[in-house]
Structure 1
Amino acid sequence: MARIEAKLEEMGLSLPQALQMPKNVSMSLPFAWVRVRGTRVFVSGHVPLNPDGTIAQPVGKVGAEVSPDEGYAAARLVALAQLASLQKALGDLDRITAWLRVFAMINVAPGFDQMPRIANGFSDLIIELFGPDIGIHARSAIGVALPLNVPVECESEVEIDG
């Protein structure tokens, strides 16, 4: 078993299925979840998912319907969703040699300004899994309105071995 997969199992974590859009939503998604270009890999925005690929609850604005702790947990689920897409695209998560950048978008209530605290859910999990040499990344965390009222969406860029 690959090192990162073994670590996920050791931590009691599993990767979710691909996003299953809610039945009442009909929108086209004309983009790639993961785009590999040489040794650079661009990962489209992912949202928090349940193991079956449905959108995880709670949904809503962090600082209103979603507590900061729930937002942090949602960001961890986003990291797992990205790892699932990366595993599908790369075949092996151990091919990742560096997490370069994470762009975290947090659905925030007016006046909520702790976006970095929420984004730490994503970053902390990646660093725990990959260690600081590979897992440390540049990051931005901003407050925005998000589709489907999800609390967190993140995109990222990683480097892989040739």
Structure 2
Amino acid sequence: MGKIDDRLNELGITLPDAPAPAANYVPFLFMGDLLYVSGQISAGPDGLMTGICNGPEDIDAGVAAARACALSLLAQVRKACDGDLDRLVQVVKLTGFVASTPEFTDQPKVVNGASDLMAEVLGDAGRHTRSAVGVAALPMGVRVEIEGIFQIA
């Protein structure tokens, strides 16, 4: 096991299996030392994390959904790197999509669930650029979808 796996264990975090694509696309693609990971939808051990953020009372559920997306992103990175997460040099960018009503403007607070997880697990290598966007609906009614770009050694 490497340093990142040790850190995950220390935090009591188990990565899920890398989800298979749900349509005609690849889950990840290398371009030089950059790894592009397709959007990962919010799913946990109990299934899809669905719903729409409408007000402050929905932020915690959104944060949990974004965190689940981040775990799936790391699972895809692990798969792309043949099991060696220590090849991950830097999280470059996360783009988060939050199912929300037009009145909901706390998408950045929701996507912090993913950003905070990356920093917690990876330290400075987890700090990244980011976009947090509100959308009317996401696939299968999920609450959050996040895609990522990662630098790989």
TM-score w.r.t. the length of structure 1 is 0.86
What's the % identity of the aligned pairs?
Answer: 37
Structure 2, unpaired ranges of 5+ = none
String of CA shifts for 1:71-111, please: whole Å, max 9, x gaps. Answer: 00110110001111111111211111111111000000231
Secondary structure at the counterpart of residue 89 of structure 2? strand
Q: Which residue pairs with 2:115 in the alignment?
A: 123
The CA RMSD measured in Å over matched residues stands at 1.8
Count of aligned residue pairs for this structure pair: 150
The answer for the alignment partner of 2:23 in structure 1 is: 29
Quote how far apart the aligned CAs of 1:49 are: 2.2
Secondary structure at the aligned position of 1:35 is classed as: strand
> Does residue 103 in structure 1 map to residue 101 in structure 2?
no
Structure ranking higher in strand proportion: 2
Structure 2 counterpart of 1:77: 68
Task: Please list every run of at least 4 consecutive aligned residues from structure 1 whose deviation after the TM superposition is greater than 6 angstroms.
Answer: none
1:1-162 equivalences under 5 Å are 1-19=1-19, 29-51=23-45, 55-57=47-49, 59-63=50-54, 67-91=58-82, 92-132=84-124, 134-144=125-135, 145-161=137-153
Q: Deviations over 1:26-57 (max 9, x none)?
A: xx611111111220100100012224xx7433
Residue segments in structure 1 that go unaligned for 5+ positions in a row = 22-27
Give TM-score, length-normalised by structure 2: 0.90
